[in-house]
């Protein structure tokens, strides 16, 4: 495992961080990217190399300011991710689907001056609401991503992409280690962030 400081530095520099959760929970890894520093190239990296669904963890106060509501939850487990209405940035995008369009939307979500009318709905970027108490309330990738962004002094808007292996299954264990090493990114755990931020 890498140190939290190494992960903070990577996120601040517009790089990637592999975040693993507990083996008894999802036992999966997500690749993180700061929303305010996202580029078309970095979003494309997530799509090509991490391969899973690209979403974005967002602090609840930002979603409230931008009037982005939660989607209704039906037949889900108690600690399921809290998906919201998907959005696209209105300005600077075409269909909203390309890696470059999604990067613009991520940038706009992280812009403290953005307003509700800056986003069309439904769109191609899927915000996930972080729980109000962050890791005190839920120990998931969403909350871990927001906790790391806050430690890094960044806006609490973090793109997260579930890591899949080449066969299309979720990457776990040694596969995550090999992926992080291959692409030169730090690898940390949700548990380490809990220890750092929750005492």
Sequence-ordered strand ranges (E) for the chain: 17-20, 29-34, 51-58, 87-89, 119-125, 127-129, 157-163, 187-189
pLDDT at 80: 86
pLDDT at position 199 is: 60
β-bridge partners, 187: 18
Q: Structure pTM?
A: 0.95
- Buried-exposed string 170-183: b where 16+ CB fall within 10 A, e elsewhere: bbeeebbeebbeee
Domain count, the chain: 1
Domain of 65: which CATH number?
3.90.870.10
Q: Is the pLDDT of residue 45 over 90?
A: yes
Closest CA to 115 of 148, 91, 136: 91
CA atoms of 199 and 111, how far apart (whole Å): 30
In angstroms, rounded to a whole number, what is the distance separating the alpha carbons of residues 134 and 121? 26
Assess whether pLDDT exceeds 70 at residue 105.
yes
User: Which tokens go with 150?
Assistant: 């806050």
Domain of residue 130: give its range: 4-198
3-state secondary structure of 159: strand
In tens, the pLDDT along 86-98 reads 999 999 999 999 9
What confidence score (pLDDT) does residue 25 get? 67
Residue 57 has pLDDT above 80, yes or no: yes
pLDDT digits (tens, 9 = 90+) for 121-176: 999 999 999 999 898 888 899 999 999 999 999 999 999 999 999 999 999 999 99
């Amino acid at each position: 495992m890498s140190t939290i400081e190494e992960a903070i530095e990577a996120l601040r520099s517009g790089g990637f961080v592999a975040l693993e959760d507990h083996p008894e929970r999802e036992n999966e890894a997500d690749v993180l990217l700061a929303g305010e520093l996202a580029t078309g190239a970095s979003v494309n990296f997530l799509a090509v190399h991490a391969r899973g669904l690209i979403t974005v963890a967002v602090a609840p106060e930002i979603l409230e300011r931008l009037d982005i509501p939660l989607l209704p939850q039906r037949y889900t487990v108690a600690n399921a991710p809290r998906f919201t209405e998907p959005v696209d940035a209105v300005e600077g995008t075409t269909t909203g689907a390309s890696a470059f369009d999604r990067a613009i939307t991520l940038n706009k979500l992280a812009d403290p001056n953005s307003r509700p009318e800056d986003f069309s709905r439904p769109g191609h970027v899927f915000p996930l609401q972080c729980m109000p108490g962050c890791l005190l309330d839920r120990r998931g990738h969403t909350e871990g991503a927001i906790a790391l962004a806050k430690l890094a002094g960044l806006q609490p808007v973090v793109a997260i992409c579930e890591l899949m292996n080449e066969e299309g299954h979720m990457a776990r264990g040694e596969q995550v280690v090999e992926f992080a090493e291959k692409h030169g990114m730090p690898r940390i755990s949700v548990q380490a962030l809990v220890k750092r931020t929750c005492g």
